[in-house]
């Protein structure tokens, strides 16, 4: 009887102990999350609005090393687009103490999904393309990100190790940034590129306060707003025969680049869409 009672007691004690372990593990996780959040507050910038987006990364070590680089620089939102490797032991080992960044990461299927609520999207690249994209220096990139992230979400997009971002993926980006390098050996390891660019942002965030040029009540158009406008524009240009679908050339790419460059607000996009609707309704 006594044995049975103590076994029952032991089992209940064991359950209580395991429950308390679970509570402490959760508390420790929350503390780490809060610590990550506190570090965001310490830098003079809303880094919670900054997303580091890694597209089709193939090596888990690079994802881990990027997480570590981000945490060093008080940046915590990692988004993985269709990763080509598991985020397991190797990634956590390379993340070292920055496993929290991996735990809180978001996985999505496409770049479009990753950036849909972002108002500024910057591609990173080691090479220039046939259609030159508006290029920023790392310093200009940091300025833009700091200013826009005061009120909107922004994304810094990194390509896969072997090929970099595709031209199709680049279409979603407003600007591109390249880290100056030896012209004959310009490709950095992707996690090193994350490190250098996050450092550039951190360095600026630590310095002078943000000067706001846009009225704070005016919200910046998101990628979704702009995509809807560009689709609408294309439809109208086809109807008016300005765009020849047999010979489209680079017209839509050039127009997209123009609109992405000018930092449109939501209300400006609404005006442009209103103009398109008036063209659609117009009859001579
Ligand atoms: N052959 C590819 C290299 C990809 S390296 C190319 O020419 O683009 C993988 C990723 O690391 C790139 O897509 C980019 O996100 C980042 N990267 C590498 N070197 C870089 C540099 N000099 N400047 C900015 N980003 C760089």
User: Does the CB atom of residue 124 touch ligand 1 within 6 A?
Assistant: yes
b/e 137-146 (16+ beta carbons within 10 angstroms → b): ebeebbbbbb
Cα–Cα dist 62/85, whole Å = 10
Q: Are residues 159 and 197 in the same domain?
A: yes
Are 234 and 199 members of one domain? no
Same structural domain for residues 153 and 184?
yes
| Tokens 């209103």, located at residue | 274
Give the pLDDT of residue 191.
Answer: 98
158 lines ligand 1 (CB under 6 A): yes
Is residue 14 domain-resident?
Answer: no
The residue assigned the tokens 């990634």 is 91
- 102 and 231 part of one domain: no
Claim to verify: residue 113 and residue 186 sit in the same structural domain:
yes
The number of the ligand 1 atom at minimal distance from the alpha carbon of 160 is 9
Neighbours of 216 (CB within 10 A): 8
Ligand 1 nearest-atom number relative to CA 180? 22
Q: Is 192 in the pocket of ligand 1 (CB under 6 A)?
A: no
- Residue 265 maps to which CATH number? 1.10.8.590
Closest C-alpha among 81, 157, 82 to residue 118:
157
**Does residue 230 sit in the same domain as residue 159?**
no
Strand order in the sheet with 106-108: 106-108, 77-81, 50-55, 153-158, 118-124, 175-177, 135-136
Q: What are the Cα distances from residue 20, in Å, to 13, 16, 124, 184?
A: 10, 6, 46, 58
Scan for tokens 């300005």, then name that residue: 242
Six-digit token string for 53: 């987006």
Q: Whose CA is nearest to atom 6 of ligand 1?
A: 164
Q: Is the CB of 125 under 6 A from ligand 1?
A: yes
Predicted TM-score (pTM) of the model is 0.76
80's enclosing H/E stretch is strand 77-81
Query: What are the DSSP calls for 108-159, one per residue?
Result: ES-HHHHHTTEEEEEEE-SS--SSPPPEE-HHHHHHHHHHHTTTSEEEEEE-
Residue 157 CA to ligand 1 centre (angstroms): 10
3-state secondary structure (DSSP) of residue 106: strand
Domain holding 197, by residue range, is 47-205
What is the token pair recorded at 26?
A: 């959760």
How many alpha carbons lie under 13 Å from residue 273 in its C-beta half-sphere? 16
Both 153 and 263 in a single domain?
no
Nearest CA to ligand 1 atom 1: 163
Pocket test of ligand 1: the residue of 164, 167, 170 to mutate, having most ligand atoms within 8 Å of its CB, is 164
For the chain, what is the domain count? 2
Ligand 1 centroid from CA 190, angstroms: 6
Instruction: Say if residue 246 is in the same domain as residue 124.
Output: no
- Alpha carbon distance 148, 26 (integer Å): 34
Pocket test for ligand 1, best of 54, 155, 159, 161 (most atoms within 8 A of CB): 159
Residue 200 falls within a domain, yes or no? yes
Residue 181 CB less than 6 A away from ligand 1: yes
Same domain? For 112 and 247 the reply is no
Q: Looking at the structure, tell me whether residues 60 and 138 fall in a common domain.
A: yes
Give the single-character DSSP code of 212: P
Ligand 1 contacts CB of residue 193 (under 6 A): yes
Q: 27 in a domain, yes or no?
A: no
- Please indicate whether residue 187, judged by its CB atom, sits closer than 6 Å to ligand 1: yes
Domain stops at, among 154, 175, 205: 205
Task: Report helix, strand or coil for 185.
Answer: coil
Q: Are residues 198 and 227 in the same domain?
A: no
Work out which ligand 1 atom sits closest to the CA atom of 190. Answer: 11
Residue 189 domain-assigned (yes or no): yes
CA atoms of 51 and 114, how far apart (whole Å): 9
In CATH, what number is assigned to the domain containing residue 80? Answer: 3.40.1280.10
Inside any domain, residue 166: yes
| Distant-in-sequence, close-in-space partners of 137: CB < 8 Å, separation ≥ 6 | 177, 180
Q: Which mean pLDDT values do the consecutive 10-residue runs of the chain (284 residues) have?
A: 45 48 46 48 73 98 98 96 97 97 98 96 82 86 92 96 93 94 95 98 80 61 88 91 89 85 85 90 80
User: Could you tell me if 123 and 258 lie in one domain?
Assistant: no
Give the whole-angstrom CA distance, residue 198 versus residue 47.
Answer: 10
């Amino acid at each position: 009887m006594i044995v049975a009672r103590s076994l029952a007691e032991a089992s209940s004690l064991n359950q209580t102990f395991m429950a308390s372990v679970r509570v402490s593990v959760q508390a420790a996780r929350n503390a780490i999350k809060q610590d990550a959040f506190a570090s965001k507050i310490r830098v003079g910038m809303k880094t919670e609005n900054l997303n580091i987006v890694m597209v089709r990364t193939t090596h888990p070590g690079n994802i881990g090393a990027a997480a570590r680089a981000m945490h060093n620089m008080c940046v915590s939102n990692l988004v993985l687009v269709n990763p080509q490797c598991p985020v397991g032991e190797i990634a956590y080992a390379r993340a070292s103490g920055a496993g929290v960044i991996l735990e809180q990461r978001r996985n999505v299927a496409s770049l479009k999904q990753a950036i849909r609520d972002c108002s500024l999207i910057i591609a990173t690249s080691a090479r220039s393309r046939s259609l030159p994209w508006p290029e920023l220096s790392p310093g200009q990139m940091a300025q833009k990100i700091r200013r826009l992230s005061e009120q909107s979400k922004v994304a810094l997009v990194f390509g896969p190790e072997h090929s970099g971002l595709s031209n199709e993926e680049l279409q979603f980006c407003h600007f591109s940034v390249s880290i100056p390098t030896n012209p004959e050996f310009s490709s950095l390891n992707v996690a090193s590129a994350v490190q250098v660019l996050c450092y550039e942002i951190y360095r600026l965030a630590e310095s002078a306060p943000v000067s706001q040029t846009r009225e704070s009540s005016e919200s910046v158009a998101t990628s979704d707003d702009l995509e809807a406008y560009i689709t609408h524009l294309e439809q109208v240009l086809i109807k008016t025969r300005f765009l020849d679908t047999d010979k489209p050339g680079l017209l839509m790419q050039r127009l997209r680049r123009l609109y992405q460059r000018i930092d449109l607000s939501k209300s400006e996009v609404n005006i442009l869409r209103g103009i398109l609707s008036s063209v659609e309704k117009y009859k001579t």
